[in-house]
Chain A
Amino acid sequence: MSATFDGAATDIHQQEAAAAASSTATQIVLCLGPWYEDTTADHLAPLLTMLRDALRERTSQALIAYPAADPQAAAWQHEGFVIQPYASAAKLHTLPVQIAATYLSLYEIMRAHDATCGLLLGPEAHTLHAEALRALVEAVLNGSADLALPRYAAGPNEGLVNASILYPLTRAVFGVRANFPLALDLALSSRMAERMATAAQSSTTASQPEALLWPAAEAAVAGYTVAEITAGTRELPHPTGADLSSILNTIGTSLFTDIELKASFWQRTRPAVPLLQLDAVPIAPLPPPPPVSAEEISELVESFRIGYGNLHEIWSLVLPPQTLLGLKRMSRLPTEEFALPDALWVRIVYDYVLAHRLRTINRGHLMGSLTPLYLAWVASHIMANGSALPDALPRAFDADKPYLVSRWRWPDRFNP
């Protein structure tokens, strides 16, 4: 493992020599992603204030690492923090998510300083509650968890990709019940950071330093403990320069590939991964979301209908006849009665996972053809207007997992 990362770590080791000498017993490494490249003290000021409030007596044990384009950039100190530049090949991703190169950098810095806790922070991290960040760090430092994920407070019309696919699928397949499996901010123990770095290494050697990684799935496979900390609201930046279809493609492809790689793990019946739930920020009722206009809903339904009219040929390669029949019924429903049942959506997602594995059609096309179906789910979700039970969809995913396992093992078996 150490030998694998030696080449990539050379620059970091050189840069860290001075800072490592000055910092005594660094326990926490806070690694900032590519959003903070060549950052200055002024830009970091709000974040440092929040970090000081969060870490308190642990401030002197923390090291903040930020990506720097200049390999000669030197470490500096500010408000009691040692701020350390690191060389990173990662470019700004269109999605505000942690990428493979950042995990690799975090592990290198943690190893260089023999730190026990690593923290990855996403863009706009200063809007995170200080209590939430402290709880993330404490969960790892006191040894109760190897991976600590925040549970952001999100309205019913926010984080829809997460609510429809990422959370329920990760929960059903890997047994991890963390609500945000692709969280922007997360804390890792040293062994969890090492495991993520190993996963990141295979992506970076395949010239994909910007690949997405799934820490919750890695923790489940490794048998590590996971903690979920209520984090309240946080400013979640919009993806830049990417449309919905390409976002779905990027995230969906990454998750489906991860499911394929870990098939030997999840095909066996296992109990759910124990999840340590901590309340750092009390769960308060959110202000009501802005109403979704009727025009917006009919636009979503119309997107599905256009998809049904044109993509039927492609969907028939991926979905079984029963699902296609369900979609046909939906396409004929008036907008006011439009609804996509949970069971149907679950089957659609599972069949897409299977088609992705079997390469039934080109993977780019496959994920592209999911967009109208996803928009149908969004329309149905909005029209349900909170009448459905909050856990209904994840439970439907859990209940139908045998279908996924069965078709994964015997894809050619008759499937009406």
Chain B
Amino acid sequence: MFSQVKFALLDSFSRVLTTLARFLPGVVALFLAVGLLALVGAALAWAVRTVLTRMRFDERVARENSAGVSDWAPAHSPSLLAGRIIFWVCVLLGLAIGISAYDAAGTSDIAPYLLPYLAHSVGALLILIAGTILSRYLSRSVLISAVNAKLNYARALSLGVKWLVLIFTGAMVLDHLQIGGLIVELSFGILFGGLVLALALAFGLGSRDLVARSIERTADKATPIDRTAERASETPRSLRHF
């Protein structure tokens, strides 16, 4: 009996050690690939940043694109952005190579499943970043426009827009990651539809006069007006800004 127990234990020990021996090289290869490519990425990013700085790339972009893409993320210079993109592309490449090496070590067969999911994750991350930047941009735009239109509820309006975009982004990210399935779609549809309906009702019922005046003004602008008649109809203003 003892010999059987001993045999079972040794057999189990041997199996665990064998599995570990097959598993470890794959893990080491994974970490090695990620580490090496991260180092390569850091070196490439540094080189690109140095070259771009010497070429005065940031100043050229600022001069030639005064209202362009760089305005959307003003805290970062274009050369820093280019360096970071290169670094993270290298890290992701290292991760993909590492996972393939892990599979090649014969431990598992996860690469065919994990790599497409990794690509989806990158896509989801990009959507999340874009959504966050867009929400910040739109909320500030709405806030400033509402303040300049002298609306007391400017902050509430801005927060509403921010969360609307963030919810929309969250739903897109979850959908992209295939998490939640129909639940996300349904709940998002109900939430978004409900919000739009509530806003439409609030706007329609609360601001009928305002909308009517706005439409009248738009109609007036669309009709060509004789300049003299327009000037005569203008109410006298005591202040002239320009």
Query: Footprint of B on A, CB under 8 Å?
Result: 95, 157-162, 206, 236, 238-239, 241, 243-245, 247, 253, 257, 261, 289-293, 296, 299, 302-303, 306-307, 309-311, 314, 359-365, 368-369, 371-372, 378, 382
Contacts and interface: CB of A to CB of B under 8 A. Distances in A.
B72 to A, nearest CB: 7
Contact of B150 (A161, A236, A296, A302): A302
Contact of A160 (B137, B148, B152, B241): B241
A260 to B, nearest CB: 8
Contacts of B240: 157-160, 236, 238
Nearest to B62: A359
A293 B147 contact: no
A365 to B, nearest CB: 5
Contacts of A158: 240
B148 A372 contact: yes
Given A310-B154, A360-B74, A361-B140, A245 B148 contact: yes
Contact of A368 (B62, B71, B145, B158): B145
Contacts of B150: 299, 302-303, 306
Chain B contact patch, size range: 20 to 34
Contacts of B63: 261
A160 B75 CA distance: 33
A25 to B, nearest CB: 37
B130 to A, nearest CB: 15
- B150, B158, B234: which has the most chain A beta carbons within 10 Å? B150
Contacts of B64: 206
Interface in B16-38: none
A314 B144 contact: yes
B155 interface: yes
B143 A310 contact: yes
- Which 8 residue pairs are nearest across A and B when measured between Cβ atoms? A368-B144, A359-B74, A158-B240, A290-B238, A245-B148, A310-B154, A292-B238, A362-B71
Contact of A378 (B71, B147, B158, B239): B239
Given A159-B241, A306-B152, 6 more contacts: A289-B238, A290-B236, A306-B147, A362-B72, A362-B140, A364-B71
Interface in B138-164: 140-141, 143-148, 150-152, 154-155, 158
A365 B147 contact: no
Contacts of B242: 95, 159-162, 236, 238-239, 247
A307 B147 contact: yes
Given A159-B240, A310-B155, A359 B148 contact: no
A261 B74 CA distance: 19
A290 B148 CA distance: 25
Contacts of B141: 364-365, 368
B152 A311 contact: no
Contact of A257 (B66, B70, B75): B66
- B62, B140, B155, B234: which has the most chain A beta carbons within 10 Å? B140
A243 B145 CA distance: 11
Contacts of A302: 150
Contacts of A359: 62, 70-71, 74-75
Contacts of B54: none
Given A206-B64, A310-B154, A157 B238 contact: yes
Nearest to B144: A368
17 contacts: A247-B241, A253-B67, A290-B236, A296-B238, A302-B150, A303-B148, A306-B147, A306-B151, A307-B147, A310-B154, A311-B144, A311-B147, A359-B75, A363-B71, A368-B148, A369-B144, A372-B148
A311 B141 CA distance: 11
B41 to A, nearest CB: 27
Contacts of B75: 359
Given A257-B66, A372-B148, A292 B239 contact: yes
Contacts of A206: 64
Contacts of B60: none
Contacts of B148: 243-245, 303, 368, 371-372
Contacts of A238: 234, 240, 242
Nearest to B66: A257
B74 A314 contact: no
Contacts of A361: 74, 140
B6 interface: no
Given A306-B147, A372-B148, A296 B67 contact: no
B71 A311 contact: no
A239 B141 CA distance: 23
Contacts of A310: 143, 146-147, 154-155, 158
A244 B67 contact: no
Given A161-B242, A241-B221, A292-B239, A364 B67 contact: yes
A378 B63 CA distance: 32
Interface in B141-189: 141, 143-148, 150-152, 154-155, 158
Interface in B211-225: 221
